[in-house]
Amino acid sequence: MPELPEVETIARGLRQRLPGLVISSVRCRFTGVIVADAGCFRRSLRGAAVEGVARHGKYLFLRLSGGLDVAVHLRMTGQVLLLPRRMLPDRHTHLEVFFRGSGDKLVFRDVRKFGRCELLTGGIGRFVREKRLGPDALTVKSGHLWSRLQGTRRGLKAALLDQGVLAGLGNIYTDEVLFRCRLSPLRPAAALTRRQTERLTETIHELLREAIRRKGTSISDYVDPQGARGGFQHVLMVYGREGSPCPRCGAAIVKSRVAGRGTWSCPHCQQG
DNA sequence: ACTATCCCCTGACGGC
DNA sequence: TGCCGTCAGGGGATAG
């Protein structure tokens, strides 16, 4: 499931290849992935130049000429790929973008069809405000987290998964961050001290930077635009590891259900 | 305003 | 071998 590090890895991969290319045509094989009108989407993209690639939380943005942007969300199983333009699309390929004079095409594929592409005319900032996304998790300030966590009655995991609190953490990195901070996922968010919130913020930054360095976590479907898997799944400490010894104290990692999600934690280390 | 639950969708997996 | 139920979880909609 692509979270911030996976989307950042994709953004970096696209940044090396896309800027300067001009879109010659767009083929949509499953219109359900396009938010609003697919015909308008195709017409608007045709002839536009790619000026840059951006990211906020789990959203990827293609910045186009004419003040247009395309917002992409991969949800659970979405992929953004750069493939040879002549390669035949498979049954999960929903969108293909072709470029003038390029041997590659940009492909959106998604087994479960949860992912979405949306044309923006009002800019990224406006989109982020309308979606009520919190600050990006890579740069969120401790003071912001403090005020948001103080103002909720929810448990810590539920609060950190809320993209309105901070944008970018999903189920995997939330479990890993709570383990590193020795905090229980069920602990009331408002019970954190200021010092704990500072440490939590630093740990979020470190964990995400580390995961980006390893090019993300490939557990199920995630690959980068060139089809390469990430490496962070090899260093996960709790996620998906029920029954394995805790890397810190040796106690068996337990799986539970928190905020409707599978949740892995060490019952001994994470009592706080 | 806040919180919990359901739903979207497909493939993998376990039980029989 | 095949059928069926369950699970995976991001986020939007909806109910309480």
Cα–Cα dist A253/A268, whole Å: 9
Four-CA torsion A99, A102, A33, A79, nearest 10 degrees: -150
Per-residue CA distances from A136 to A128, A161, A243 (Å): 10, 13, 33
What pLDDT score was predicted for residue A1?
A: 80
Strand B and A259 CB separated by under 7 Å: yes
Angle, in degrees to the nearest 10, between helices A4-15 and A194-213: 40
User: Residue closest to B10, CA→C1'?
Assistant: A112
Region A69-81: what's the mean pLDDT?
A: 95
Q: What is the DSSP letter of A6?
A: H
Buried residues in A80-112 as b, exposed as e (16+ CB within 10 A): bbbbebeeeeeebbbbbbbbeebebbbbbbbee
Q: Is the predicted pLDDT of residue A272 greater than 90, yes or no? A: no
Both structure tokens of A103: 């041997």
For the CA of A6 and the C1' of B15, the distance in angstroms is 35
DSSP-based helix, strand, coil % in chain A, nearest 5: 30, 25, 45
Please write the tens of the pLDDT for every residue from A98-132: 999 999 999 999 999 999 999 999 999 999 999 99
Per-residue CA distances from A67 to A55, A122, A163 (Å): 16, 8, 26
- Strand B bases within 7 angstroms of protein beta carbons: 2-11
Four-CA torsion A226, A231, A236, A241, nearest 10 degrees: 80
pLDDT above 90 covers a percentage of chain A that reads: 93
For strand C, list residues 146-185 of chain A whose Cβ lies within 7 Å of it: 161, 163, 170-172
Strand B and A114 CB separated by under 7 Å: yes
For the CA of A220 and the C1' of B14, the distance in angstroms is 19
Strand B and A1 CB separated by under 7 Å: no
Catalytic residues of A: 2-3, 58, 261
What pLDDT score was predicted for residue A154?
A: 92
Give the angle subtended at the CA of A4 by the CAs of A162 and A161, to the nearest 5°.
15
Q: Is the predicted pLDDT of residue A22 greater than 90, yes or no? A: yes
Please write the tens of the pLDDT for every residue from A143-179: 999 999 999 999 999 999 999 999 999 999 999 999 9
Closest CA to A75 of A105, A129, A111: A111
**Contact A255/A165 with Cβ under 8 angstroms?**
no
